[in-house]
Amino acid sequence: MVPQFVTQLLGTVILWALSGTLALAVALALAAGSLSPRRAGRAGAKAVIAVTRGVPTSLLVVSAGIAAIPYRTPAWLPNPFPGTSSGLALVAWAVTVALAFGSTGHLAVIFRTGYEALGTARREQATALGLGPLARLHVLARECAASTLAPTSARLVHHLHNTAFAALFPVADLFGWVQQRANETFEVGRYAAVGVGGYVVLSFLVWAASRGLEPRLARPGQAHSSSRAAVAT
């Protein structure tokens, strides 16, 4: 029982990490696009944000999973999901992408709001410093962190809970293990309690990691202190 629990727990962590990383990357791109000086770029990014925020994650996962089931998994596609058979790796990847898009729009709004909260004067000061695009992005990202880190971590915790939708398909995850063991033993309360405990611990770890980043972002290293001070004035 314990090895199976560990496998399913690890499956949830990997689902969360892969889909969460993809969600963050796409959200950053959409947030940047929604701030584009070009009207078409802004309209397109905002449309994608609105759609990904409006469609329930459960519907995205169900649609992606059902669409992937009829197809054989390509030989080149890796299967990093423990407890999921190689033949269902394509389904697992489809679920991963669907989970990512379920959070993309929400994260994009958080990033865009944090950027806009800096104010025009502070953003113009960062431009006036003559920094390159990457250096300017680095400075502004640190400035935004104070207002975006907490809601981002909260969304990632919710994203963790959304991984339970993977149990709708033969993809290994913690919630799927709870369902299986409860059905096999009829000890619903016991396994529900174990599942709740597992999700609480994982959620706490996400929150703790976010809290650990706050002081580091609030007090940047010596190499960035001068540019940060200049932007903050």
- Per domain, the residue ranges of the chain are 2-232
Q: Average of pLDDT values for 13-31?
A: 94
Residue 224 pLDDT > 60, yes or no? no
Task: Decide if 57 contacts 20 (C-beta within 8 A).
Answer: no
Return the structure tokens found at 222.
Answer: 């010596």
Q: How confident is the model at residue 226 (pLDDT cuts 50, 70, 90)?
A: very low
- Span 170-215, pLDDT tens digits: 999 999 889 888 888 888 888 899 889 999 999 999 999 888 877 7
Task: Decide if 8 contacts 83 (C-beta within 8 A).
Answer: yes
Q: What was the pLDDT predicted at 121?
A: 60
Q: If DSSP codes are grouped into helix, strand and coil, which group holds residue 154?
A: helix
| Percent of the chain whose predicted confidence (pLDDT) is above 90 | 47
Q: What was the pLDDT predicted at 108?
A: 93
* CA distance to 14, 22, 49, 172, per residue, from 76 (Å): 19, 20, 31, 21
Q: What was the pLDDT predicted at 227?
A: 39
Angle at 72 between CA 71 and CA 73, to 5 degrees: 115
Does the 2-232 domain belong in CATH 3.90.1150.10? no
Q: What was the pLDDT predicted at 228?
A: 41
- Span 96-153, pLDDT tens digits: 999 999 999 999 999 888 877 776 666 666 566 666 666 666 666 677 777 788 899 9
Length of the chain: 233
- Of 61, 31, 28, the closest CA to residue 161 belongs to 61
For 113, residues 6+ apart whose C-beta sits below 8 A from its C-beta are 147, 148
Give the residue carrying structure tokens 């944090």: 114
- Span 33-91, pLDDT tens digits: 888 778 888 899 999 999 989 999 999 999 999 999 999 999 999 999 998 999 999 99
Give the residue carrying structure tokens 């025009």: 120
